[in-house]
């Protein structure tokens, strides 16, 4: 069994996940990437069972990894969408020539083709998820030069229970439309997220779902969802809360005295109390090496927040080192009031805890960026993310939208 070249060249196969394959199959550890691939191919060549096992593993790996994920919220899921026979009938009506071949065996062309689909049902036999694979040829390289041909698959998933359609694709900044003469014209570079969202829209149209495409409404709705994630993963640890509350009398006395002595407008006292409490929390939180306090009791922690406060005419873009929770830095508290007041975030970067960290070094945490682009939401996993990790990120979106 020969592993397709694009899996290696485009970094679908990353070293940690190959090391896990070798370990799980009691194969000798080797020195470099080329030897990893050779060892996996030799294992696959042993017999039909190892070939099937390796194929299934490769198909899983293609959907994992460093990914751009785009999503749209859908409405109008009806009874017929839960019937496997009706769903399959609709798919065959719109895509009668679907070859039902996987990304390892399909012979790609310059046309985007839906090459495979899978209808997934729950214990009651009702459809709860539908997976599609689209694929075509593209060129990659430098503008103005002869390009090399590559395969670029897009995976579309319809989550009926959660009412979302999402895409998964490899993030590539040097992708160009396929040309039989391998020419890459200036200005023709492909925006991979826009390409993915066009496939999402095809699926939405096929199933006659409803989806808002108004950029202003989508940005507003997604920004509110990001704020709920901000709240979820930046809650104040119980120990810090207790310390802040122990100073309530001091804070109230201080603010009251200032307002009385300076004869300040009492309508601003509530803001002053909030500022004072944030001040106390800030200096408790940044007091020394206590990063673990902001990591240990949550599945993810913030390392960057971008937000716009249209009322206050302020822009916030705070960040920390990826090993340090933003919540124990001054930057977090300097922006907290505006973020809490607007209840919106433009973009978030978080570190998500991996489900299994065995083969991933501590210097390679899972950085995830969430935001809005044009009229859809997106997620970017900056490092290799296994399926369980991707599902954790998606669930955070589903739960907070």
Tens-place pLDDT, residues 41-78: 999 999 999 999 999 999 999 999 999 999 999 999 99
Separation between Cα atoms, residue 26 and residue 12, nearest integer Å: 22
pLDDT attached to residue 163: 98
Separation between Cα atoms, residue 304 and residue 332, nearest integer Å: 9
> What percentage of the chain exceeds 70 in pLDDT?
96
Separation between Cα atoms, residue 399 and residue 159, nearest integer Å: 13
Separation between Cα atoms, residue 204 and residue 105, nearest integer Å: 27
Burial class (CB in 10 A: 0-12, 13-18, 19+), 5: exposed
Contacts of 226 (CB under 8 A, 6+ apart): 344, 345, 346, 347, 348, 370, 371
Which ranges of 64-109 would DSSP assign to H, the alpha helix?
Answer: 84-94
Contacts of 53 (CB under 8 A, 6+ apart): 44
Give yes or no for residue 187 having a pLDDT over 90: no
By C-alpha distance, which of 296, 22, 7 is closest to 152? Answer: 7
Two tokens, residue 72: 């749209």
Q: What is the mean pLDDT of residues 265-292?
A: 90
Separation between Cα atoms, residue 184 and residue 147, nearest integer Å: 6
Separation between Cα atoms, residue 93 and residue 91, nearest integer Å: 5
Q: Are 6 and 150 in contact (CB under 8 A)?
A: yes
Residue 248 CA: distances (Å) to CA of 94, 239, 241, 278: 64, 15, 11, 12
Q: Are 365 and 197 in contact (CB under 8 A)?
A: no
The pLDDT-based confidence of 215 (bands split at 50, 70, 90) is very high
Burial class (CB in 10 A: 0-12, 13-18, 19+), 256: middle
pLDDT attached to residue 315: 52
Q: What are the tens digits of pLDDT across the range 88-113?
A: 999 999 999 999 999 999 999 999 99
Q: What is the mean pLDDT of residues 350-375?
A: 88
Q: Are 71 and 379 in contact (CB under 8 A)?
A: yes
Separation between Cα atoms, residue 65 and residue 53, nearest integer Å: 19
Separation between Cα atoms, residue 192 and residue 176, nearest integer Å: 10
Separation between Cα atoms, residue 333 and residue 317, nearest integer Å: 12
The pLDDT-based confidence of 386 (bands split at 50, 70, 90) is very high
Separation between Cα atoms, residue 117 and residue 15, nearest integer Å: 29
- Per the model's pLDDT, the better-predicted residue between 8 and 321 turns out to be 8
Q: What is the mean pLDDT of residues 139-149?
A: 83
HSE, CB side, 13 Å, CA atoms: give it for residue 315. Answer: 2
- Per the model's pLDDT, the better-predicted residue between 306 and 199 turns out to be 199
pTM given for the model? 0.90
Q: Whose structure tokens read 């990353």?
A: 14
Phi and psi, residue 74, nearest 5°: -120, 160
pLDDT attached to residue 318: 61
Give yes or no for residue 145 having a pLDDT over 90: no
Q: How many CB atoms lie within 10 A of CB 85?
A: 10
The pLDDT-based confidence of 393 (bands split at 50, 70, 90) is very high
Q: Are 376 and 197 in contact (CB under 8 A)?
A: yes
pLDDT attached to residue 92: 97
pLDDT attached to residue 186: 67
The pLDDT-based confidence of 314 (bands split at 50, 70, 90) is very low
> What percentage of the chain exceeds 90 in pLDDT?
72
Contacts of 182 (CB under 8 A, 6+ apart): 139, 146, 147, 148, 149
Give yes or no for residue 156 having a pLDDT over 90: yes
Q: Are 55 and 3 in contact (CB under 8 A)?
A: no
Give yes or no for residue 221 having a pLDDT over 70: yes
Q: What is the mean pLDDT of residues 283-290?
A: 85
Two tokens, residue 390: 């991707």
Give yes or no for residue 220 having a pLDDT over 90: yes
pLDDT attached to residue 319: 57
Q: How many CB atoms lie within 10 A of CB 24?
A: 9
Mean pLDDT of the chain: 91
- Per the model's pLDDT, the better-predicted residue between 315 and 317 turns out to be 317
Q: What is the mean pLDDT of residues 287-304?
A: 86
Q: Are 314 and 202 in contact (CB under 8 A)?
A: no
Burial class (CB in 10 A: 0-12, 13-18, 19+), 166: buried
Separation between Cα atoms, residue 6 and residue 77, nearest integer Å: 37
């Amino acid at each position: 069994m020969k592993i397709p070249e694009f899996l290696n060249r485009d970094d679908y196969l990353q070293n940690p996940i190959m090391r896990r394959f070798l370990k799980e199959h009691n194969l000798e550890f080797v020195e470099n990437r080329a030897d990893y691939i050779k060892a996996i191919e030799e294992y696959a060549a042993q017999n039909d069972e190892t070939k099937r096992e390796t194929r299934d593993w490769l198909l899983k790996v293609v959907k994992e990894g460093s990914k751009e994920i785009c999503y749209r919220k859908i409405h109008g899921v009806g009874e017929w969408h839960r019937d496997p026979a009706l769903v399959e009938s609709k798919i065959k009506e719109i895509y009668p020539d679907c070859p039902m071949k996987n990304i390892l065996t399909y012979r790609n062309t310059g046309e985007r083709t839906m090459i495979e689909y899978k209808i997934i049902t729950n214990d009651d036999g009702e459809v709860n998820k539908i997976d599609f694979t689209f694929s075509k040829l593209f060129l990659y390289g430098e503008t103005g030069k002869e390009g090399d041909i590559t395969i670029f698959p897009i995976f579309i998933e319809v989550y009926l229970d959660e009412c979302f359609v999402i895409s998964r694709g490899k993030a590539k900044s040097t992708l160009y439309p396929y040309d039989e003469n391998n020419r890459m014209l200036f200005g023709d570079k492909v925006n991979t997220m826009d390409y993915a969202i066009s496939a999402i829209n095809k699926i939405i149209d096929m199933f006659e779902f409803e989806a808002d495409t108004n950029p202003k409404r989508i940005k507003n709705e997604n920004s509110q969802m990001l704020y709920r994630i901000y709240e979820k993963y930046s809650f104040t640890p119980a120990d810090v809360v207790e310390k802040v509350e122990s100073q309530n009398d001091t804070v109230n006395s201080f603010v009251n005295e200032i307002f009385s002595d300076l004869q300040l407008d009492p309508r601003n006292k509530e803001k002053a109390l909030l500022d004072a409490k944030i001040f106390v929390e800030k200096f408790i939180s940044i007091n020394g090496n206590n990063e673990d306090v902001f990591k240990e009791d949550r599945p993810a922690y913030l390392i960057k927040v971008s937000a716009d406060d249209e009322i206050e005419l302020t822009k916030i873009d705070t960040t920390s080192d990826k090993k340090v929770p933003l919540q124990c830095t001054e930057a977090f508290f300097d922006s907290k009031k505006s973020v809490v007041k607007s209840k919106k975030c433009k973009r978030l970067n978080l570190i998500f805890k991996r489900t299994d960290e065995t083969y991933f070094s501590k210097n390679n945490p899972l950085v995830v960026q969430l935001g809005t682009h044009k009229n859809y939401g997106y997620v970017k996993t900056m490092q290799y993310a296994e399926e369980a990790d991707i599902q954790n990120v998606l669930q955070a979106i589903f739960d907070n939208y």
